[in-house]
């Protein structure tokens, strides 16, 4: 005997409001909330409203108001506003809706967090700390005897420990910190004199790795950069970390440009090696 199955009932999700429905459509279609295809979303929104016939008048009015808002935004995007000046940037009619959706999403996430906290901590009970007297417990306070000699001995121990801890140990670490003074202008003179005598020179020739201090090579490199910026030399390097070929671009060095004709040494590098 065949039993006829009744027509299946289509159960629609119960939405808490028009923004909830709109946010559901955005998540369902994997839509970028900052670039909503308003025509497609409006059509799906109206389709849901046709199926949601059980809404009361108060709730239905909120959904219909959102539907009217979507239709208005859709019409604004299809028909440009003639009141907008040609030189001014046109305002996206979806901006206000995006702001409302972002606020709704934030509130929804916070509500979900509060719901999880209520689930985890609603059955927890806590009790404020109480004194023994409030609990009816008699506690006899007996002051402890103070040994003056032990107290003064402890204070003296702490003071001596602090003296050792905060002592000036600068003299003990002079071998760690070494302060050097390098003049970039002296290195500019050195590089230019090397170029004038040899014509072309490699950087590692005038600043050998194993013969020149590290900071000396750094200041020398800065001098080369200064000469490049002053359009005094030409430097070539085929690939990163390869040798650097340097040659003069002019016959004479513009000493006034680098302040080489002054007695004061205004450009210097102070470093801790």
Q: Is the pLDDT of residue 6 over 70?
A: no
- pLDDT of 10 reads 35
Q: What would the mean pLDDT of 121-136 be, rounded to a whole number?
A: 84
161-195: per-residue pLDDT in tens? 888 776 655 555 554 445 555 678 888 888 888 88
- pLDDT of 166 reads 67
259-271: per-residue pLDDT in tens? 676 544 444 444 3
139-159: per-residue pLDDT in tens? 777 777 888 888 899 999 998
**0.85 surpassed by pTM:** no
* Both structure tokens of 210: 């194993």
Mean pLDDT of the chain: 76
93-106: per-residue pLDDT in tens? 788 888 888 888 88
- pLDDT of 155 reads 92
- pLDDT of 114 reads 92
Q: Where are the domains of the chain?
A: 18-80+92-119, 179-272
- pLDDT of 11 reads 40
Q: Is the pLDDT of residue 32 over 60?
A: yes
Q: Rounded distance, CA 263 to CA 243, Å?
A: 34
Three-state secondary-structure class, residue 226: helix
Q: Is the pLDDT of residue 129 over 70?
A: yes
**DSSP code per residue over 107-159:** HHHHHHHHHHHHHHHTT--------TTTTT------PPPP-HHHHHHHHHHHH
Three-state secondary-structure class, residue 60: helix
- pLDDT of 95 reads 83
221-254: per-residue pLDDT in tens? 888 888 888 888 888 888 888 888 988 887 788 7
Residues 243 and 204 sit within 8 Å (Cβ to Cβ): yes
Residues 73 and 38 sit within 8 Å (Cβ to Cβ): yes
Q: Rounded distance, CA 85 to CA 226, Å?
A: 51
36-94: per-residue pLDDT in tens? 888 888 888 888 877 766 555 556 777 788 888 888 888 877 776 555 555 555 677 78
Q: Rounded distance, CA 192 to CA 189, Å?
A: 5
179-272 CATH pick, 3.40.50.2000, 3.30.470.20, 3.40.50.2300, 1.10.10.580: 1.10.10.580
Share of the chain above pLDDT 70, in %: 76
């Amino acid at each position: 005997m065949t039993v006829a199955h009744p027509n299946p009932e289509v159960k629609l999700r119960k939405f808490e409001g028009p923004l909830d429905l709109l946010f559901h459509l955005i998540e369902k279609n994997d839509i970028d909330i900052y670039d909503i295809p308003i025509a497609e979303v409006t059509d799906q929104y109206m389709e849901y409203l046709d199926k949601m016939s059980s809404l009361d008048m108060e709730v239905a009015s909120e959904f219909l108001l959102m539907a009217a808002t979507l239709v208005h935004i859709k019409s604004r995007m299809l028909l440009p506003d003639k009141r907008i000046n040609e030189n001014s940037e046109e305002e996206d009619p979806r901006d206000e809706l995006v702001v409302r959706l972002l606020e709704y999403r934030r509130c929804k996430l916070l509500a979900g967090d509060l719901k999880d906290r209520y689930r985890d901590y609603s059955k927890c009970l806590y009790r404020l700390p109480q004194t023994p007297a409030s609990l009816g417990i008699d506690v006899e306070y007996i002051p402890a005897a103070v040994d003056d000699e032990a107290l003064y001995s402890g204070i003296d121990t702490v003071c001596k420990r602090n003296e050792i801890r905060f002592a000036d140990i600068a003299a003990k670490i002079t071998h760690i910190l070494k302060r050097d003074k390098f003049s970039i202008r002296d290195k500019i003179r050195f590089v230019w004199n090397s170029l004038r005598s040899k014509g072309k020179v490699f950087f590692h020739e005038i600043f050998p790795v194993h013969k020149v201090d590290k900071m000396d090579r750094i200041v020398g490199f800065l001098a080369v950069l200064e000469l490049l910026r002053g359009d005094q030399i030409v430097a070539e390097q085929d690939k990163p970390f390869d040798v650097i070929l340097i040659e003069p671009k002019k016959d004479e060095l513009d000493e006034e440009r680098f302040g080489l004709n002054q007695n004061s040494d205004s450009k210097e590098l102070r470093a801790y090696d």
